[in-house]
Every structure is written in structure tokens, then in C-alpha cells.
Amino acid sequence: MTKSTTVSDETLDKKPKKQSKSQNSRAAAPLTLDQVEKNAARFRSITIILLSFSLVAATISLGYCAWDACQGEPSDITVNYGTDGNSANFTEGSIAEIASKVSPGVVSILTEVRTTGFFGQTSTSTAAGTGMIVTKDGYILTNKHVVDGANSVKVILDDGTTFDEVSIVGLDPLNDVAFLKIKDASDLPIVTLGDSKTVSAGQQVIAIGNALGQFQNTITSGIISGTGRSITASNGNNAASAETLTDLIQTDAAINAGNSGGPLVNATGEVIGINTATSSGADGIGFAIPISSVKGMLENIIEHNSSDRAYLGIYSINITPDVAKAYNLPVSTGAYLYSDAQYSAIVKDSPAAKSGLKDKDIITKVGGVKIGSAGNISSLLGEYKPGDTVKLSIIRDGKEQTLDVTLGGYKDSQAKTKK
């Protein structure tokens, strides 16, 4: 019979285990009163430190949560900027496609103007124009002359939705442009703004507007006939309303009365101009304000509730080949800082003066963009907001150099900025 033997763990460990002296002393020696007090003090210190860390962590966590809650959902006060689609052409059926894409963001604008006669009698007249929605919460671009003197403004969307509470929040002091805001609007259809600096003659375009004030969102097509045009525009036969508009886009797309303030659109559906005027002496000649020239002021109104326009503070002559020859200038495009009066071409204490610009300097580029076919200096500066710093390329005494200038701001005295 085979015996079974049970071997325990203790049996395998023949040598007795030794305890270290330190272990024995800590286990056996009694603590003195002084040691007890020291240990208690040490425990209290550790507890206070842990509580302090916990309090700091809780504060950081609550602060982050509060910040995160304040952010909320992404704001719909944003402008939709497209890529440069000016090289595209319309294809068969694409005009209808682009028109249906853009039209929901194009609105009819109805205004009422109340006047008081010599004997105190009151009369009310109405007018109509066009505008385009640029943010989902109801910012609208249109012409200044569309809302000039209006006591009330009404906006009608492409689907017939009507808004009666509309404010004029900004007027461009240099251009026929007005900025409107629909009160308490949300989730509205918007247009996409393109880049007017790269448009060219022969480029295909469509114009959308409230033709004759009674045919909402009429579509006409044509081409860009020219750029950099200057005209003197007036509201009907009212000579007092005449103003000089420069750097306009010329088009043969039909722009009728009531189309003012509507979009001029390229073949990808991007707005490249604001339709503003037609020639009374010829057919097929209409004009639009380059959209890039209003972007800075639009962003300033949206971001800062301010209708100030970017301001440099110069008197300049737009250089053409004839001007270059007359003044013996080394370039055929740019802005020549020159005044033929007794005062300086640099306004005192202006951003231009602070940047170091001098009389007879020639500004050739604004922010790296060459003055000329892309626009004159006023249009190029129109892309910036007051407070922006922009790099100017200049020629002084025949030598090229660059200057950084921080733009100031000024506004039209008629503007009533409010939300």
C-alpha cells in the first residue's frame, strides 16, 4: 500500500523566517505622547492639503462647465463666404439651377416715407427695392437709396413670408450701401458672398431682383462688360440725391427699377456685386458695387454692432496710364498721395500719418493685393474693419518699401446702429 503524504507550505520552508529589527521595534515599542501629537499634526496637514487640492479641482471643473454652458450652440450670426468661382461659366440648365439656389436669400424691400407739406398736411409715399440676406438671423444688404428717408421698412421673402420690424443698422458713407436687420429672426435662407477682386470682362453673370417693384425675384442674364467704372448716380430726377460712385462693375444683364440692392451672381452662385444703377441714356448698361468692398463694414456691424467704416486718412489720385504720364510716375496703377491744394495729402493725426505715409508716396498694394484691376484703394480697404492692421506696399523716392498701418473708423452721420 502506498502511503500518501501531505506536505504543507510550512513543511517545504525548513528555515524559520526572521523578522527585521525595524519591523519588531515598530510593532513592539509603545508610542510616546510627543510622538502621538506629532503624528496627529502631520495627519491634519495632509488632510488640509488634500482638501485644498479638491477645492481647486472643483473650482476649475465648475468654471469650465460654466464657460462651456455659456458657449451654447454655434451662433448663426455668420456670413457664408464662398471660394473664388469667377472662372466658371454657365452650362445648359445651370442658370435655372443657380437661380433656384440663390433666390430664397433674395428679398423684396418695401418702404414708406411720410412727409409734411407747407400747410401741415401729411402724405405717405411707398417705394420698392431688393435686398439679400447674409446671416440666418436676418442681416440684409441693400442700396442706401432704397431705404433713404424711410419711416418704416418691410421685408418679403421669396416664399411670401413678411417681416414688418426691420431696422436700418448701418449706412456706408462712401458707397450706395445700407445694412438692415430683421428683428428676432432665425434660420433664414442666406446668399453666399464671393470675391469681386477677381472678376473679369466677359465673365457670365445673372442679376436677381424685384423688377419694377412688382415682379419679385426676376432673373436676367448677361456678362460683365467692364470693371472700375465711375458714374454720377441720382434717384430719378432728384438732382439733390446725386452721388459719385467709383470702381463699379458694369454689366449688360438687365437691371430695372426695383432691382436696386439685389445680387449680381457668378456661375457658381456666389454674389459678386450689389446691383445699384442703370444708364438712362443707353440700353444694356447696368452697374453693381463690388461685394468685397462692403465685407469689412458688414463684419464690423455683425461683430461689434458698429457701422464705422475702415479709415486710412489720405487724399489720393487713382493712377491710370494718363495720370502716370501727366505726373511722371513710375507705375501705371496705384494710389498717388497728392493734393493740389495747400493742405497735405495726409490727414493730420490719421492712421496714415501715424504709419509714416508721406505726400507723393505711391501705394501699389493693400494687404498684398495690387491696386488696379482688383479694385481701387477705397474698395480694397473696404474689406477690412477699423482696428485691423494692414500691410501697404509703397514707392517712395523711386524705392519700394512696406508699411504697417492700423486702420481707424468713421461712420455716416445718418446711420442709426441698433439691434
Q: 328 in the Ramachandran plot: left (φ > 0), alpha (ψ -120 to 50) or beta?
A: left
User: Are residues 227 and 203 in contact, defined by beta-carbon separation less than 8 angstroms?
Assistant: no
Instruction: Confirm if 249 and 199 have CB atoms less than 8 A apart.
Output: yes
For residue 176, indicate whether it is catalytic: yes
CA–CA separation, 284 and 415 (whole Å): 33
CA–CA gap between residue 63 and residue 317 (Å, rounded): 55
Annotated active-site residue 260? The verdict is yes
The terminus-to-terminus CA distance of the chain in angstroms comes to 106
- Rounded to whole angstroms, the Cα distance separating 361 from 364 reads 10
Active-site residue (options: 158, 176, 252, 361)? 176
β-strands 309-311, 408-410 pairing: antiparallel
Q: Are 79 and 298 in contact (CB under 8 A)?
A: yes
The active-site residue out of 196, 260, 293, 306 is: 260
Residues 6+ apart with CB under 8 A from 1: none
**What are the E-state strand segments in 190-251?**
192-193, 204-211, 215-235, 238-251
Select which of 103, 108, 145, 195 is catalytic. 145
For residues 222 and 205, what is the distance between their CA atoms, to the nearest angstrom? 6
DSSP per residue, 295-309: HHHHHHHHHHS---E
Residue 34 identity: D
Can you say whether the dihedral through the CA atoms of 43, 48, 54, 57 is positive or negative? negative
Supply the residues annotated as catalytic. Answer: 145, 176, 260
